[in-house]
Chain A
């Protein structure tokens, strides 16, 4: 496939009077890690939600693998998210009653992968992310760092084309967060998954191949001066 894997063109979103996003264009190539930076309230999450097909923009279009997705039905978009996307939220959002292993196997089960294979792949990935020894623990009893590693595993276990990570280490102390990010990016690169990494911290953004800055709902061009 030529052209970008995922592309938003001229995206605009308004919540009542608030223009959360205005004329933003951003594309991701296969396997690329891109950071979206900006202060809180600048529109980062709104941009991520548009690109991920969670939110339908008021203006502009979104395409994935050359096909428009913003005009597809809720059902088709939700199917696309399940199959081709992975999500790492800020607070893990694991199912607390399930074990860590069961949480990671869940996306595969939803994709009709057999129980045995799903469990095997989930266990291998938990090992790779260095939380294998806690696999049988209930998610509700795990530490913050463990939960985020498991959230990374759950987002990547089905080898998605794109992983969306919205402040994935925002709830962790900086040292724990650093190691979780390292694991997230390394695992995604291993699998050839692209990553859209939303963060307000430069040190987090530096894990990406490049970054864009959102300010008041627009891409901030001052962040890309012609140096020299």
Chain B
């Protein structure tokens, strides 16, 4: 579900067609991998079906016509709730976590709160993994160490991201 949320977030600032969305995605979140435009239109169709996005026009140019989409108010609400709901604290949440923080920043939603909520969930998971690992044999300890190290990488990034946001807010005289 999170890819369609991601697309919703990129679409939110202004109506746009699938090809422009694909480009925006590639620049911000692609990390060297380019998205297929077909996947983008399929996702847009699904968002439209669910009432989260709507078709607002068709742009005709040199190539095939391009359908232009916009986020509905239902879509905005859905996006807000997704951004502020922490990801399941697996060691592999990094890319979604990064995307949520960037989208929150770009849309003036509280990115520090996104980070703070995720931090709570990650720390809780870390405690749980530790408990399970310590109750077991050497192999379960090693496995716990492995997951803890990945969670720790996320937490370090959350810490740093929080510091950066704080620093930027202070520089612009926005701090409390």
Contacts and interface: CB of A to CB of B under 8 A. Distances in A.
B120 interface: yes
B130 interface: yes
Contact of B148 (A206, A209, A227): A206
Contact of A207 (B122, B130, B155): B130
Nearest to B116: A222
Interface of A: 39, 178, 182, 186, 202-203, 205-209, 211, 222-225, 227-228
A223 B116 CA distance: 6
B123 A202 contact: yes
Contacts of B159: 202
Given A202-B152, A203-B148, A222-B116, A227 B127 contact: no
A214 B85 CA distance: 24
A228 B82 CA distance: 10
Contact of B120 (A39, A178, A207, A227): A227
Contact of A228 (B85, B112, B163): B85
B14 to A, nearest CB: 30
A225 B113 contact: yes
A227 B113 contact: no
Given A202-B152, A206-B127, A206-B148, 8 more contacts: A202-B159, A203-B152, A203-B155, A207-B130, A209-B127, A223-B116, A224-B120, A225-B116
